[in-house]
Each structure stands twice: as structure tokens, then as C-alpha cells.
């Protein structure tokens, strides 16, 4: 009788543990990104290309699809297929908080990266292509 009770207790404990761990994984909340300060000289940097130019935007869109969409999603909502598995939410690029950053800030963050966000200075050696990405990110504004 005692052994049976012990066995039942153990089983119940195991079930609770499994439900807890599994439930936690399913409900895992992504951390909100911390503020990302940019040095003044980078913040005020002016784009090397015309960010309103349609051909610049379209080349930015291409580079976005190739390099960024997997995490950030097609519309920059942070809902790319890889985005959900990240510890940090990649951000909602359609909103005022993101769009309120200067061009220089977006360029700097794209260049250097942070934690799960890769830096693209080496991956995309052409600075104009990285500026084109900034141009494309501006079109994501709602």
C-alpha cells in the first residue's frame, strides 16, 4: 500500500513537472528589447543615398527579403519564421517607437548588431545597400 502511494506521488510529481516545463516553453514570453543607444556622431549621420528613391527602396526590399525577413517578417512586425524562437522580440518596425529613430540610428544598429541581431557591416559590404535597407525600413511605417 505504502509503495503504491509513493509510486502515485512520484507519478503525479512527474506529470506536474512535465506540464510545467512544457507549458512554460509554449507560453515563453519573448523579452522586450532594451533601449539601444547610438553614439551621437552615428545618430546624426546622413544617408549616402536618396532614401525616397524608388529604385533604392526596391533594392532595399530585395536585401531585406534575403537577410532580414526570416526574423523581422516581411512587414517588419517581428513575425518572421525565425523571429518567434528568439529570446528577444525583434521589434515592431511599423510603430512610432521604431520609426522615431534617426536614419543614422537605424543604419548603425544594422551595421553593428547586438546579441541575437547580427551585424551586417561585413555580411553586406556595400554601405549603399545597407542604406537601402534603411530606406526600405522607412516604408514599413503604418
Q: What residue ranges bind ligand HEC (CB under 6 A)?
A: 33, 36, 67-68, 70-72, 82, 86, 88, 90-91, 98, 101, 106, 109-110, 114-118, 120, 133
The minimum distance between CB 111 and ligand HEC, in angstroms, equals 9
Q: How far is the CB of 13 from ligand HEC (least distance, A)?
A: 36
Query: What is the distance, to the nearest Å, from the Cα of residue 29 to the centroid of all Cα atoms in its chain?
Result: 14
The candidate with the shortest Cα–Cα distance to 91, out of 34, 10, 27, is 34
Which CB sits closer to ligand HEC, 88 or 139?
88
Residues 6+ apart with CB under 8 A from 117: 71, 88, 90, 109
Residue among 6 and 114 whose Cβ is closer to ligand HEC:
114
Judge contact between 105 and 38, C-beta under 8 A: yes
Tell me phi and psi for residue 115, to 5 degrees.
50, -115
- Least CB distance to ligand HEC at residue 30 (A): 9
Please say which residue, 88 or 94, places its beta carbon nearer to ligand HEC.
Answer: 88
Residue count of the chain, please give it: 142
In the complex, the smallest distance separating the C-beta of residue 112 from ligand HEC, rounded to whole angstroms, is 10
- Minimum CB distance to ligand HEC smaller for 9 or for 85: 85
Amino acid at each position: 500500500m505504502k509503495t503504491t502511494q509513493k509510486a502515485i506521488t512520484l507519478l503525479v510529481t512527474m506529470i506536474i513537472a512535465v506540464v510545467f516545463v512544457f507549458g512554460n516553453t509554449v507560453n515563453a514570453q519573448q523579452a522586450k528589447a532594451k533601449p539601444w543607444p547610438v553614439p551621437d556622431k552615428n545618430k546624426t549621420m546622413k544617408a549616402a543615398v536618396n532614401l525616397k528613391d524608388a529604385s533604392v527602396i526596391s533594392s532595399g526590399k530585395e536585401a531585406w527579403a534575403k537577410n532580414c525577413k526570416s526574423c523581422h517578417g516581411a512587414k517588419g512586425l517581428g513575425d518572421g519564421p525565425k523571429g518567434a524562437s528568439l529570446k528577444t522580440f525583434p521589434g515592431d518596425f511599423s510603430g512610432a517607437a521604431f520609426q522615431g529613430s534617426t536614419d543614422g540610428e537605424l543604419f548603425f544598429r544594422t551595421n553593428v548588431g547586438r546579441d541575437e541581431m547580427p551585424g551586417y557591416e561585413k555580411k553586406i559590404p556595400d554601405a549603399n545597400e545597407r542604406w537601402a535597407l534603411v530606406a526600405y525600413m522607412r516604408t514599413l511605417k503604418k
